[in-house]
Structure 1
Amino acid sequence: MQVTGTFSVKSFVPTEVVPDPAIATAVPVGVVLMEKQFEGEVAGRAATLFTSAFDQAAGVGTYVAMESFEGALAGRAGAFNFAHSATTSGTDRSNEYFIIVPGSGTGELAGITGTGSITVDADGTHHIGFEYELP
C-alpha cells in the first residue's frame, strides 16, 4: 500500500553531544531532537533523533534520523519506528535510505514493514511517502 502526506517541524532542539574521544573533522557533527506533525494520508506526529555532519556555509552534508511515529496511515492507527538518511552537495538530495523498522508496529499498524521517501519542494514544503505492507 502507498500513502503520502506533508509534514512540518514543530520543535527543533539542538543537543550537545561530546564524543570521547573527540575527533575534529572538516564538517561538524550535531544532534537535534525534533517533533514533527504530519497531515494527509499520513496523519500524526513523530519524535525524531536527527544526527548530521553538515557544513552550514556550503550547505553540504549528510544526515541520519530515527523517528518514532504515532498516528495513522490511510486511517489505520498505531505507532512504529522508521529510519532515513540522505546527503546533499548543496542543491540536491542523493544516497537516500528509508526503512520502516521491522517489529516496531503497534495497534492497527502491528507487523508493518516497508520503505518510504522524503521530498522537499522548492518552497520548502516537505512530503513523506510510505510504501508498506501489513499482515
Structure 2
Amino acid sequence: MTSHATGTFDLDSWDAEKPFHEGAGTKQTRVRVGKTFHGDLVGTSVTELITVESAEGGPLAYVGIETVHGILHGREGTFVLQHSAGSDDGTPATQWLRWLIVTGSGTGELTGIRGEGRIVVGADGTHSWSLDYTLG
C-alpha cells in the first residue's frame, strides 16, 4: 500500500565551494546543505549537491544525494534520496524538483522503503515537499 507524506523543510545551511568548472555560459559548484524537516517527516538531513548556474547566477539544474534521519509517520530510521532538478529558463516559474528514495537505503523502522517525491519552492521562499512511499 502506498502512503503519502507532506510537510515543509528549513534550509539550515548552504555551504558552496568555489565553482569547479566555468565556461559555455555556466558554472558548476559543489554544495553541502543541511535541512530540518517538519510535517509527516520530522528529522534532519545532509545533502551533497552539484549545481549548474547560468553566467548571470540563475539556477539551471542540480543533482544530489541526501541522507535523511527522522521519523516518518511514526517510524524511525534513515533513508537516502536521489535528487534531480532543473528549470526550463532559469526562473522559479519553470522549476521542477524531484527525488527518488534509493532502493535498499532504509534502516531501522524504515527498512525496505521505496518511493518518490517532489519539492515546491513558494513565492515567499518556503520549501514544501511531498513523498509517495511504500514499506516492504
Q: TM-score, normalised by structure 2?
A: 0.88
Q: Deviations over 1:17-40 (max 9, x none)?
A: 64xxx6733100001011111011
In structure 1, C-alpha distance between the alignment counterparts of 2:31 and 2:134, rounded to whole Å: 30
1:37 maps to: 36
Contact 1:86 1:93 in 2 (8 A): no
1:111 maps to: 112
Q: CA shift at 1:58, angstroms?
A: 5.7
SS in 2 for 1:28: strand
Question: Identical aligned pairs, as a percentage?
Answer: 35
Q: CA shift at 1:91, angstroms?
A: 3.1
Q: How many residues align?
A: 132
SS in 1 for 2:100: strand
* Structure 1 residue ranges (4+ consecutive) displaced by more than 6 angstroms after TM superposition: none
Structure holding more strand per residue = 2
In structure 2, C-alpha distance between the alignment counterparts of 1:26 and 1:73, rounded to whole Å: 41
Q: TM-score, normalised by structure 1?
A: 0.88
1:123 maps to: 124
2:83 maps to: 84
In structure 1, C-alpha distance between the alignment counterparts of 2:97 and 2:126, rounded to whole Å: 18
Task: Report the aligned-residue RMSD.
Answer: 1.9
Q: CA shift at 1:93, angstroms?
A: 3.7
Which stretches in structure 1 are left out of the alignment for 5+ residues?
none
In structure 2, C-alpha distance between the alignment counterparts of 1:103 and 1:11, rounded to whole Å: 27
1:11 maps to: 13
